[in-house]
Amino acid sequence: MTSRSILVSGASIAGPTLAYWLARAGWEVAVVERTDALREEGQNIDVRGAAREVLRRMGLEDAALAATTGEQGTVFLDAQGRELARFTAGTDDTSGPTAELEILRGRLGALLHDATAGDVSYLFGDQIAGLGQDAGGVDVTFASGREQRFDLVVLAEGVNSRSRALVLPDARKQHLGMYVAYLTIPRRDDDTDEWRWFVVGGGRGVSLRPDDVGTIRASVNLMSDTRGLDELDRSGQVIVLRRAFADVEQAAPRVLAALEDGAPFYLEDLAQMRLPTWSAGRVAVVGDAAWCATPVSGIGTTLALSGAYTLAACLAGATDHHAGLAEYERRMRPFVGKAQSLPPGTPRVANPRSALGTKAFGAALRVIGSAPAQRLGGVLGGIGSPPADQYELPAWPTCR
């Protein structure tokens, strides 16, 4: 397609990546982000395989490698803090529970934004309120009241995208029965540069990860059949977490103390997005808004980077948007399908409820810990399964 105008909604990972490539193809690109400024929050995310190659092609790989969290590997511990298994960090594009390119989400987002800011217009503090399309374009009404017509609109608004329902009402959320609360806590002298994952039983887990700004990124996992805990107000969520982790020693008390002290945190009810199609006419979705695989897959950011690049190449290389969007979906569906096919029992297996399950998982970790980390497959998530290097990126800009 020759030069076109496009509105991308969402300025995290998928949005700016798509914007970068379409601007490079000569398109006129606007990105709207509902928050007032670029979001800095987020914990350690990995970039693997094909997504590393996307950063490389953008000339951003070295900057990303220079901004990694410094995590040296992953250690699993039992409720008493005894080591169960240890894995060193990956040393290539794909391997290891701790990837070679492990970076704070906010840092990667800022790199992508900065690489595009000169060629793309960013509109912060606004969002799509209405979409109307005809054969020639999409009329967008923004919440601010502004109106503008674009040739195409792409939603990169994450798993809880609101605009998606305007065009793709059949999107379905598939809950995994697991909540994760994320927060940042002060680093202590006895903290290490490893990802420490405490397997504590009762369908719970506690993770402590280093970052490159002198704090610790903590998260607690809670398996639960009750939906809607994420909709409680802050004090309600803190009460739930305090009760759920009251008997957990080692890492939990400092996490609970930070919550009580008012540390900002985010409670997520993990859910995958299932959409029968990723576009309707001239409006498409990309990244978590299209196919969220959840952090348990360990591949969400890899999919977002690879998917945004693929969509851009397919649009730039196609004769019209119908062909481009169809080719994007044809290429990405199998990769996304594999990423969403979590191994049986995931994430229950890694957050065992019963004493027996906890013992069995600990024993399995000891065995697996003695073999190459890749043998873990996706059982624990974050291990690069499906192998992110098995997705073949299309050529730029022909999409061959």
Ligand X SMILES: Cc1cc2nc3c(=O)[nH]c(=O)nc-3n(C[C@H](O)[C@H](O)[C@H](O)COP(=O)(O)OP(=O)(O)OC[C@H]3O[C@@H](n4cnc5c(N)ncnc54)[C@H](O)[C@@H]3O)c2cc1C
Complex with ligand X: residue 43 or 133, whichever CB lies closer: 43
Nearer of residues 90 and 158 to ligand X, judged by Cβ: 158
User: Which pair of structure tokens corresponds to residue 167?
Assistant: 């065009």
Residue whose Cβ sits closest to ligand X: 287
Tell me how far, at minimum, the Cβ of 335 lies from ligand X, in Å.
14
CB of 157 vs ligand X, minimal distance in Å? 4
Q: How far is the CB of 221 from ligand X (least distance, A)?
A: 12
Nearer to ligand X, 33 or 194 (CB): 33
For ligand X, the closer CB: 1 or 290: 290
Nearer to ligand X by C-beta: 79 or 220?
220
Nearer to ligand X, 107 or 358 (CB): 107
Give min distance, CB of 367 to ligand X, in A.
27
What's the closest the beta carbon of residue 40 comes to ligand X, in angstroms?
Answer: 8
As measured in angstroms, the least distance from the Cβ of 237 to ligand X is 17
Site of interaction with ligand X (CB under 6 A): 9-15, 32-35, 39, 41-43, 45, 105, 127-128, 156-158, 161-163, 182, 287-288, 295, 300-301, 304
* Least distance between ligand X and beta carbon 228 (Å): 20
Pick between residue 285 and residue 393 the one whose CB is nearest to ligand X: 285
